[in-house]
Amino acid sequence: MYEVYGIIGDPVSHSLSPVMHNVAFKELGIKAVYGAFRVKPHDLARAVEGIKALNIKGLSVTIPHKETIIEYLDEIDSVAQEIGAVNTVVNKEGILIGYNTDWIGVIKAFEVKNIDLKNKKVVLIGAGGASKAIIYALLKKEVKEIEVYNRTFEKAKILEAKFNILAKPWQELKNAYGDIIIQGTSVGLKSWESPVQEEVISRFKIAMDIVYFPLKTKFLTSAEKYAQIIDGLQILLYQGIEQFKIWTGISPPIEIMERVIYEEIKKLEKEIFV
Ligand code: ATR
């Protein structure tokens, strides 16, 4: 019998998680399939019941459910609790346990590029759900300083209080400088926009974007003239690898998963942008 895994979110139609996890199951000879389930916010409670009823073994959780799913879970891992967001669920005989692997994805994405985060000054744009895991990762790696700029200042202030970092007014982004700049908003997703001017980006040696569609966002296109860049698919890949390990206890084939998601994004870009 095949076991079932999947992603819940809205939207999920362009999620790369199904190709990434299915190729890993296949490669390892694990009898399992991974699907994409569009779940609207008002259906989340019923979806969680469905997971139990259908005995779905594991889930990825994405926008907009990473925070709201917490109240429906039976247990939550201490790190996910500290971050305040869940991106991974395990169904252990009807007990749903929430984890967060986004922060590990962020750390791994820097590590594989041999970037040492220790003592760096980081400018983070955005104070949404993704930013929490990014900040947690940066603090774990002992960066020197984190400045968060967000369109809605109050949300940056909440992160300032939660993580003891510095919230900066949006208008001051034009004066930002440091070692690493991270684009952590949804700006640039399926559009040719960047929340920050190229002149500002040019002051940094390392630039990361959480957006991966298009793969080379406007932000990264500016950044690669001045900096080493890390695209959003790297975070997706490494958070997915950690999920896979939590679900199965097995290390999945990273190179194959990486290849299929990069191939898939190229296909999607052709369909949507050309
Ligand atoms: P995620 O979980 O991906 O972080 P989110 O919690 O909805 O998603 O957060 C989206 C982030 O993108 C927020 O920081 C949001 O800024 P606000 O807090 O002001 O809403 C940011 N964002 C979205 N659209 C933006 C825009 N047009 N300009 C600047 N920031 C934007």
pLDDT digits 0-9 by tens, 8-64 = 999 999 899 999 999 999 999 999 999 999 999 999 999 999 999 999 999 999 999
Tokens of 152: 């809605």
Query: Which residues does the annotation mark as catalytic?
Result: 66
pTM of the entire structure? Answer: 0.96
- Atom 27 of ligand 1: nearest residue by CA position: 187
Q: Which residues of 88-127 are buried (b: 16+ CB within 10 A; e: fewer)?
A: bbbbeeeebbbbbbbbbbbbbbbeeeebebeebbbbbbbb
CA of 69 to the centre of ligand 1 (A): 19
At 271, the pLDDT band (50, 70, 90 cuts) reads confident
Q: What is the pLDDT of residue 154?
A: 98
pLDDT for residue 274 is more than 70: no
Question: 137-190 pLDDT, tens per residue?
Answer: 999 999 999 999 999 999 999 999 999 999 999 999 999 999 999 999 999 999
Question: Cα(52) to centroid of ligand 1, in Å?
Answer: 32
Residue 261 exposed, middle or buried by CB count within 10 Å (0-12, 13-18, 19+): buried
Site residues for ligand 1, CB cut-off 6 Å: 63, 126-131, 150-152, 155, 185-187, 195
